[in-house]
Amino acid sequence: MRQERDYAQQLQREGKWIHLWRIVGEYSNYSVFDVDSNDELHAILSNLPLFTYMEVHVTPLAVHPSDIHQSAST
């Protein structure tokens, strides 16, 4: 658990793991990663100490053109 936390917090400091939320009433989380590729995300996830025991669902996200916080919008 300590290794999991240290690894997660290091990735947050690096700007790769940009959101980490607890799902209320569950030992689960919703996380948002900012990565350059599927391969990078897989490397991050598979290096989690608890990866072998996790059920992971990945939903790729793109910038929404109406999001006022994103400068990439057109």
Ligand X SMILES: O=C(O)CC1=CCC(=O)O1
Which residues sit at the interface with ligand X, rule CB under 6 A? 4-5, 8, 28-29
Q: Using the 8-state DSSP alphabet, how is residue 28 labeled?
A: -
Cα–Cα distance between 63 and 27 in angstroms, integer?
29
Q: Residue 9 or 73: which CB sits closer to ligand X?
A: 9
Cα pseudo-dihedral 60, 63, 64, 68, rounded to 10: 140
Q: Residue 21 or 63: which CB sits closer to ligand X?
A: 21
Tally Cβ neighbours within 10 Å of residue 17: 19
State the nearest-atom distance from the C-beta of 35 to ligand X, in Å.
16
State the nearest-atom distance from the C-beta of 34 to ligand X, in Å.
16
State the nearest-atom distance from the C-beta of 32 to ligand X, in Å.
13
Q: Residue 28 or 38: which CB sits closer to ligand X?
A: 28
